[in-house]
Structure 1
């Protein structure tokens, strides 16, 4: 009986606590809504917030609340404003295709048009593909410096009559050629104003040439190579005084005069500029009276000459950059060694659209430069968009065409080849509502060097309301002066504020009378708007980082997952500095998921392999029985145990090495991708594995890593990092034995030689010592013999004997 009572009270206490938790959660959900006073901000606050647009709704009750509360306060179902349904529709989705012989345009990006909707703090991911089309049309316009020093280069270009079409056909079957030339502005001090020199600037060389001009268009784009050669051959050189020419003048005219040049609607546009001189830029033209800023428009007369060269100044580098970007034109600067450094500096400013190549003095390598420049230009894919002017922001993630490669955040890929398919993922985000009204924004995503193929996004920004009550004409609901009815409440017109919309925002005296309405009730602080905002006509305008009616609330935590407040739509909403999380999410920033799917390893059902706990969608590993710690993304391995995921992945690695797999490998209903990146270092989260097998009589060791896949329908990504091959084990043993035996024999020989040498040295020393001792013995014996008589006689003079005699 005692145990039954104990169980009853335990259940009762648990029920009370659970009910209290539910009540607390419902209260927080209500607080998310009730602080909002406009329909647009109400519906943007959280997914469960609703707005009552009934004009007769009780003024004391909050109009922004959940469904049940609004109905309880007397709001009819027909007057409750709810968030619009999400919009997602692929409007145009043509398959990728190369340029066809029948003239059908190539398709390089898929899909082409999508219609979608966005709410505040919402991100939608858009997948699209890009593949460079083979035989894409090429419009190549030769823009040549025809001053006196380039006369030999013109002859070289004419001599390429047969080689030029062959080279271009190797690049694309659809090409057209055009021709133009440039020299210098025909004004002093760039040319001589002497009438004779003006008519024939080459008279000092005793040659005839054409009068100086800034730019001349000779031949519009055509596929007739003979016409191009004849146009170049018939052109005349000219001359000027300085070593700088009007390259930028000519570029602007060649870019903007599309009708005269003949640029194609769907083509890759390339200008190859040949010169051996420096270039003039903005400001230089003012020396000769060309004082007007370049107007970036076409000014060609009926003969193809730039007619306003003496009126407009040279363009600036910034103007040229804008035009190259606007018209999607690339420029190959083929210049001589003497001026290449100058053009290298220019290329740094125009790097997105230019290529620099060294031109031989006679232009003999021009075909090689065209080929190299073209290949360099087409190998770069760079996506851009026009979203900067609106509230929507776009981020790009791509694998740059690497099969099985993970997506990285970048919009530019290099080393792209024909046939490569680049997978992109655009993250389209509306961080906040610029205005609380419904709007539409169109964003075009296009490849920066072409611009013809694009992905168009029709985005419906769901930030406002379209309330049926706005059409009510009941005079009893007339709003005060300077206001109008919006979704059941009277809102002040622009420039007016206050409870009765009688306070002009510009009227400081009227605003001061309403300061008390900007102070939080029952607050000991006398500061208006909690010291975190300005009081305008009785209403607080909060500083950045603060919110609430009295600016009493700080902004909430930013999610580490997507950088949005409280994780954005579907994760949680901010309630006066605290995040109110949706079901399935927790944490201070609602970035901790309760879903354990990411903690279950492929081919297994146990969470974290049974060796840990799933916390916020990631495994926290436990310790083994010997005190070590499990490791890996799924706590699948340790220092003393075998990794089961390596064993699961091994068949797919073998399948890849044997070339028996397509892009994906399926085992046991799970899909894997295998790629080789032998030069890259593994990431921190990649788990290492080793595969050993025999190849061509050698034992090869493959080191590979695996990681959870980011691609849909793919369970794991496997990357082979290194390969090392050795001789087989039996050969290793035999080789080691032979080496050991050789070392032993060699060591024995060395020891024997050393011992023998030591003996010889020792004997020689002993014999020398014996000889020395024998000699000493004979000497001593002679001195001590009593019968020995010395043969030497010695006589000494007396001291008194006279020495001088």
Structure 2
């Protein structure tokens, strides 16, 4: 729909006059920017969405020389009556339903409440963000519908027998999970088609003939027992079920799973329950396309096709479902699947789990299913410990971002929808930031958003969002037969607007059959601009009007998009902070910066217990302290949220926060400790190895505890918006004996070490001597052996002449009497 541009043909000249007048002073310049934000709009909805101060004159007899979109004062001065001025609608915030969180009561499942509040009605303007807070608490004894879907091919025969023997153990295990549980049972094998089964008549009647055992003819899926709280009836049906067989190792699990989910009335799924299918198998799966090999060529439709006996009768017609179809069914009906599989195929199902991660859990099944109860317990607890939220906001222009503390008491909010490790009794606090970037159409509309927990889907928060993009004068508010509009147009909010499919000054240009002329193209060029391009080169001229490319706006697409706030991602900080005026942000009072995301106040830069901005060691920029980059005269460089600490000085905020840490350790204050005007929130998170986040400052508190000296390391984080709150987190605790006892213990340890060292030295020296003596003796023995060996060899040589000569005196030789 195009607006006829005959309201004020000299708008651009009017703007030039305003520019000339507005250069007088700063206030005039601001008023000029305010006017420029309004006067370029030619429709009521676009006018009221341009800036908070813009108003629209709906009087059909209003002067065509003056802009219809302007501020209140200018419109009244131009002759528009107060009763014909359209103003932005008042904001809407209404809590429609707010029942308290309620666990499951005996014999009453309808009164359970897990999310609070349940229904809100709010309004949104363009570039506006509203914060909606809600809480979620998993209800105790929430109903459980557990459907056993069992592979009953021949290789799973012993698993069926194990399940029959469970009896009372099954009931006890489920009662430990919840008092409200029901059991159902179904089985599967494969499509009774070649090549999945033998087509021999005898083998078709008894596929277990090779095992010399009688079993049931091959079937795809059979529903045996609808959900019931009678455990013995469940055991009876499992016991009476018969095994079957097929040829290949792949089975029809997905066929059976789709039928078990889609046939909700036959299976008996409850509206308010946690729905879990535990699928027991030792084989891989057939997927979409495999059925075509056997002649089942029709695409799986995801509908229920059970006959009167509970068999999936149309399995020979429909192909196997795809993984995508299974995912959509699990999401639609909020059903979780536990794949209890043997070790031989576990890796196969781990890969399948990656595709169905939100709704599946994989566990290793023993060869005889002896650990089935343990797997049920583990799988249920794993599924129930995950809380994840989803919404349907994608159906409209509204966007939502989620922040939550995941049930951590005193924990800070983080941007996520998914929390793990959730236990019964934990309350998870969520904050949904609901925003509207721009108007899809300049008319009032309502978008209803449903925020629900993705695993259950029964409890939800409904948010009715009134999108305030239009005006109250869009209908037949003004009826005057004396005022006629050109052909192909009608009266809207005091001006003639072209009907759909028509455009141009007189609504005589058909958009469907556009024949652009020089006169229409000229209207898409900026006047008085030398060699200006059509629509500034950033749009397309359609019947004399510029259709701008994304990121550009203005009558001639000459205005670029304004900067977005880092804090909330909204242009010029959003409503209440600033307005985008032709590529430049005009900030509201109290805000500054290129994106109007810097508060002018400096109170957020003043530390608790101090009256100095940034402790006198920095400057307050955009509401945060920027510490001096250079060291001061004493050679000290300061850091911290308030430039309050340095490497060699005592941190004043540590000393200020210390009484609250002591108060928390003495259990004399529970959550919030107040010192003067400041509230301190103290919590414990004993994860001393965790790296400090940006803005966290570490402190140490030493105190006696049970005769020991304990050292508490904690961090504090100053609030960024105001100084009325600070978060303190105790990170680690280390305790030691008192100093005297510690010195005595240290002395005894040192003496023991000295004595031990002396003994080690003595043993080393003695060992060295013994080794040396043994080596010398061994060398002596070796040399003696060699000498003896040489003498023996010399005596055995016939040419050897002994160097020893013997001389004997004759007996007759006279001897001295003394000899």
Q: Same fold (TM over 0.5)?
A: yes
Matched, 1:346 2:356: no
Decide whether aligned partners of structure 1 residues 738 and 209 sit closer, same or farther in structure 2, where only a CA change above 3 A counts: closer
Q: Using the alignment, how far apart are the partners of 1:161 and 1:396 within structure 2? A: 45
Matched, 1:633 2:638: no
Residue 376 of structure 2 aligns to a residue whose secondary structure is helix
2:335 equivalent among 324, 329, 333? 329
Count, aligned residues:
739
Q: In structure 2, what is the equivalent of residue 787 of structure 1? A: none
Matched, 1:461 2:467: yes
2:125 equivalent among 109, 119, 123? 119
Decide whether aligned partners of structure 1 residues 468 and 74 sit closer, same or farther in structure 2, where only a CA change above 3 A counts: farther
1:50 equivalent among 48, 55, 61? 55
Matched, 1:730 2:734: no
Shift of 1:513: 4.5
Residue 440 of structure 1 aligns to a residue whose secondary structure is strand
Q: In structure 2, what is the equivalent of residue 319 of structure 1? A: 325
Preserved CA contact (<8 Å) 1:111 1:128: yes
Residue 274 of structure 1 aligns to a residue whose secondary structure is strand
Preserved CA contact (<8 Å) 2:127 2:570: yes
Shift of 1:709: 4.2
Shift of 1:356: 0.4
Matched, 1:644 2:652: yes
Residue 278 of structure 1 aligns to a residue whose secondary structure is coil
Residue 471 of structure 1 aligns to a residue whose secondary structure is coil
Q: In structure 2, what is the equivalent of residue 25 of structure 1? A: 30
Q: In structure 2, what is the equivalent of residue 277 of structure 1? A: 283
Preserved CA contact (<8 Å) 2:254 2:326: yes
Shift of 1:186: 1.6
- Residues 151-550 of structure 1 aligned to structure 2 (within 5 Å): 151-467=157-473, 470-511=476-517, 513-550=519-556
Shift of 1:721: 1.9
TM-score normalised to structure 1 length: 0.88
Q: In structure 2, what is the equivalent of residue 602 of structure 1? A: 608
Decide whether aligned partners of structure 1 residues 464 and 745 sit closer, same or farther in structure 2, where only a CA change above 3 A counts: same
Q: Which whole-Å deviations, capped at 9, do the CAs of 1:23-64 have from their partners, x for residues lacking one?
A: 111111111111111111111111111111111111111111
Q: In structure 2, what is the equivalent of residue 778 of structure 1? A: none
Shift of 1:108: 1.2
Shift of 1:213: 1.2
Q: Which whole-Å deviations, capped at 9, do the CAs of 1:360-379 have from their partners, x for residues lacking one?
A: 11111100000010011011
- Residues 90-109 of structure 1 aligned to structure 2 (within 5 Å): 90-104=95-109, 105-109=111-115
Q: Extract unaligned runs of 5+ from structure 1.
A: 1-15, 754-805
Q: Using the alignment, how far apart are the partners of 1:752 and 1:372 within structure 2? A: 60
- Residues 3-22 of structure 1 aligned to structure 2 (within 5 Å): 20-22=25-27
Q: Using the alignment, how far apart are the partners of 1:708 and 1:621 within structure 2? A: 15
Q: Using the alignment, how far apart are the partners of 1:69 and 1:629 within structure 2? A: 54
Q: Extract unaligned runs of 5+ from structure 2.
A: 1-20, 764-819
Q: Which whole-Å deviations, capped at 9, do the CAs of 1:87-133 have from their partners, x for residues lacking one?
A: 00111111112111242432111111111000101111111111111
Preserved CA contact (<8 Å) 2:604 2:722: no
Q: Using the alignment, how far apart are the partners of 1:295 and 1:77 within structure 2? A: 61
Shift of 1:427: 0.7
Q: Which whole-Å deviations, capped at 9, do the CAs of 1:119-151 have from their partners, x for residues lacking one?
A: 101111111111111111000000011111111
Q: In structure 2, what is the equivalent of residue 4 of structure 1? A: none
Q: Which whole-Å deviations, capped at 9, do the CAs of 1:433-477 have from their partners, x for residues lacking one?
A: 111111100111111100011111110000111217843332232
Q: Which whole-Å deviations, capped at 9, do the CAs of 1:583-613 have from their partners, x for residues lacking one?
A: 1111111111113342233355554345544
What RMSD in Å do the two structures reach over aligned CA positions?
2.6
Residue 455 of structure 1 aligns to a residue whose secondary structure is strand
Q: In structure 1, what is the equivalent of residue 707 of structure 2? A: 697
Q: Using the alignment, how far apart are the partners of 2:454 and 2:170 within structure 1? A: 28
Which region of structure 1 is more displaced relative to structure 2, 560-569 or 342-351?
560-569
Q: Using the alignment, how far apart are the partners of 1:414 and 1:302 within structure 2? A: 42
Preserved CA contact (<8 Å) 2:478 2:493: no
Decide whether aligned partners of structure 1 residues 154 and 737 sit closer, same or farther in structure 2, where only a CA change above 3 A counts: closer
Preserved CA contact (<8 Å) 1:511 1:536: no
Which region of structure 1 is more displaced relative to structure 2, 714-723 or 423-432?
714-723
Q: Using the alignment, how far apart are the partners of 2:652 and 2:609 within structure 1? A: 10
Q: In structure 2, what is the equivalent of residue 707 of structure 1? A: 717
Matched, 1:84 2:89: yes
Residue 316 of structure 2 aligns to a residue whose secondary structure is coil
Q: In structure 1, what is the equivalent of residue 796 of structure 2? A: none
Shift of 1:739: 6.7
Preserved CA contact (<8 Å) 2:119 2:463: yes
Which region of structure 1 is more displaced relative to structure 2, 520-529 or 161-170?
520-529
Residue 324 of structure 1 aligns to a residue whose secondary structure is helix
Shift of 1:73: 0.3
Which region of structure 1 is more displaced relative to structure 2, 313-322 or 478-487?
478-487
Residue 244 of structure 1 aligns to a residue whose secondary structure is coil
Matched, 1:685 2:691: no
Residue 146 of structure 2 aligns to a residue whose secondary structure is strand
Q: In structure 2, what is the equivalent of residue 803 of structure 1? A: none
Preserved CA contact (<8 Å) 2:579 2:587: yes
Q: Using the alignment, how far apart are the partners of 2:167 and 2:721 within structure 1? A: 51
Q: In structure 1, what is the equivalent of residue 730 of structure 2? A: 720
TM-score normalised to structure 2 length: 0.86
